[in-house]
Amino acid sequence: MGQQEMKDLAHIKTDKEIAKIEKELQAFYKSTQGDNMKAWGEYMESIEPRVKQAYKTLEEARKTGNTQEISVAKQEYERLVRNMTFKQKRYKEVVRDTAKRMTLTNEQATAIVNERMYSIYAMNYNYNMEKMVQFDKDMSFKAIDENMIRNMIADGNHLALPQRKLSIPDDTAWNVKQINNQMAKGLYLGEDIYKIADRLQNVSDMGLKQSIRNARTLATANENKARQQTAEDCESAGVIVGKYWLHTHDDRTRPEHVEAGEEYSKDNAIPIDEPFIVGGEELMYPADETGSGWNVYNCRCSYGTTVIGFKDKKHGKVQMKWGE
């Protein structure tokens, strides 16, 4: 079985930060709903009088229980609504405008998520480095903060935080497709125009869920990439470091990640420049952004480090070889 570590304060704090980000995203999406849905709601209301009679006829047909009568009334209702939506230039303009507004919300949400990653990275770097320097009295480090990370990136430092990049054209096209899909589904189910209009909320909810998933995944990626960086910095200072995989012990954890926790336990730590093989993929750390979505999305695993030995800083000799 994979080992459970003593309390990892930085991991616990990272989880709390994720919870805060989720609440912030929920509040943000809620605050944008009015503006995003205004044009859509107005358009649905403008066509309501013309389709009201057709829907009334459909409802009356349903009460009769006559299959043929219901089918005819439903087809007529669908035809009328389709003519006033999918085939209308104004409808297409409203859908496009609404989709763009939703994309703007998603873009702003992405910025919120990316901004929070600086503190998560810094916190985990400092936490792991504090642990590592205890093993080498000659090694010291300077704690980093969000501003230092930004400056390092701006100065062309090799540091690159895992962040989310939103494709505006792709996201807009996706929103257009989802809005039209919801419209078509409402028609197929024979819903009235108000229920169909309310379906726009489903598309907004999809954006929120995506943003929350991004936040969870990026937080795990930054937590563990920071720990990978501390291990690399320690090795540069002469400490030989091993890394191991820590999976979350519950029934939500992917089987492949449970296997990784068991195969790459603390007793079976591997060199930091070697990847973990997880589900057939090479990952340098949990939620490694080079991994496939099925292997990293919503990952909650963590990364542990252990000191294997030390290099003779003067003569370049290793005091303890790997595996001994």
User: Which class for 13: exposed (0-12), middle (13-18), buried (19 or more C-beta within 10 A)?
Assistant: middle
Residues 6+ apart with CB under 8 A from 277: 260, 283
Tens-digit pLDDT profile for residues 198-215: 888 899 999 999 999 999
Summary mean pLDDT of the chain: 89
Q: What is the pLDDT of residue 6?
A: 58
Element (H, E) at 270: strand 270-271
Residue 33 in this model has a pLDDT that exceeds 70: yes
Q: How confident is the model at residue 1 (pLDDT cuts 50, 70, 90)?
A: very low
Tens-digit pLDDT profile for residues 236-278: 888 899 999 999 989 999 999 999 999 999 999 999 999 999 9
Q: Which residue has the tokens 């930091």?
A: 272
Residue 112 in this model has a pLDDT that exceeds 90: yes
CA-angle at 149, arms to 138 and 298, nearest 5°: 105
Q: Which residue has the tokens 């490694």?
A: 288
pTM exceeds cut of 0.75: yes
Half-sphere exposure of 142 (CA within 13 A, CB side): 3
Considering only CA atoms, which of 101, 162, 189, 142 is closest in space to residue 290?
Answer: 162
Q: How confident is the model at residue 159 (pLDDT cuts 50, 70, 90)?
A: confident
**Residues, the chain:** 324
Residue 64 in this model has a pLDDT that exceeds 70: yes
Domains of the chain by residue range: 9-237, 238-324
